[in-house]
Amino acid sequence: MSAREAVDWPADIHAALQAAAVRQIAYVPDAGHARLIKLCAADPAMRMVPLTTEEEGIALAAGAWLGGERAVLLMQSSGVGNCINTLGMVEACRFPLLMVVTMRGEFGEFNPWQVPMGRATPAVLDAAQVVVHRASEASAVGAVVAGAARLAFSGYQAVAVLLSQQLIGAKSFEK
């Protein structure tokens, strides 16, 4: 294992969510989120809410905030497109929102159907008034998520952390 791979960035994300007192973990699974999902599921302070589609998580996070809890939404970039109209509520009500998005359709992508949404993801989020942070280095991921959580829950912003495909490793069916 190289020095770069030795950084356990999913554990760093979990620690950042824990430190930010995030309780509801809404997710549509992605291979890049698999370890984080396991870590959160093993955390008794966190409630796992698997979704049928990503925009459900926007609404869940809004309801959680109304009730005094914090939520995070985990998804892959293809799910960003599903969220657009629901993000309008986040802007109209100024709900805090924290999204952690694993990127597909960029570095080393083998599936052409992933590329259009992957390429559109930062622009789509920007158009929907979501602040976009990018994490490409394993050693930076924890701090980026911690900063995004603070901006979301204390700065009352919608914030998405995009985890680069270089970080996660390109998916392959050839293994």
Partner 1 sequence: MSRANALDRRAVVRTLLHERGTLLVVAGLGAPAWDATAAGDHPLTFPLWGAMGSAAMIGLGLAIAQPERPVLVLTGDGEQLMGLGSLATIGVQRPANLAVAVLDNEHYGETGMQPTATAAGVDLAAIAAGCGFPRSEVIRDMAGVEALRPRLQARHGPLFAEIKIAADSPPLVLPPRDGGLLKSRFRAALLGPDAALA
Site of tokens 């805090």: 96
Residue among 97 and 138 whose Cβ is closer to partner 1: 97
Q: For the segment 130-159, give every residue that binds partner 1 (CB under 8 A).
A: none
Residue among 43 and 69 whose Cβ is closer to partner 1: 69
Query: Any contact of residue 170 with partner 1 (CB under 8 A)?
Result: no
Residue among 110 and 156 whose Cβ is closer to partner 1: 156
Residue among 85 and 111 whose Cβ is closer to partner 1: 85
Site size for partner 1 (CB under 8 A): 32
Query: Any contact of residue 52 with partner 1 (CB under 8 A)?
Result: yes
Residue 32 C-beta: closest distance to partner 1, Å: 22
Residue among 39 and 61 whose Cβ is closer to partner 1: 61
Q: For the segment 16-45, give every residue that binds partner 1 (CB under 8 A).
A: 23-24
Concatenated DSSP letters of the chain: --TTTTS-HHHHHHHHHHHTTEEEEEE---GGGHHHHHHHHT-TT-EEEE-SSTHHHHHHHHHHHHTT-EEEEEEEGGGGGGGHHHHHHHHHHT--EEEEEE--SSTT---GGGHHHHHHHHHHHHHTT-EEEEE-SGGGHHHHHHHHHHHHHTTT-EEEEEE-HHHH----S--
- Pattern 66-95, partner 1, x by CB under 8 A: xxxx-x-------------xx-xx--xxxx
Phi-psi region of 43 (alpha: psi -120 to 50; beta: other; left: phi over 0): beta
Q: Which of 7, 15, 60, 151 binds partner 1 (CB under 8 A)?
A: 60
Cα–Cα distance for residue pair 80/127, rounded to 1 Å: 12
Residues that bind partner 1 (CB under 8 A): 23-24, 47, 49-53, 55-69, 71, 85-86, 88-89, 92-95
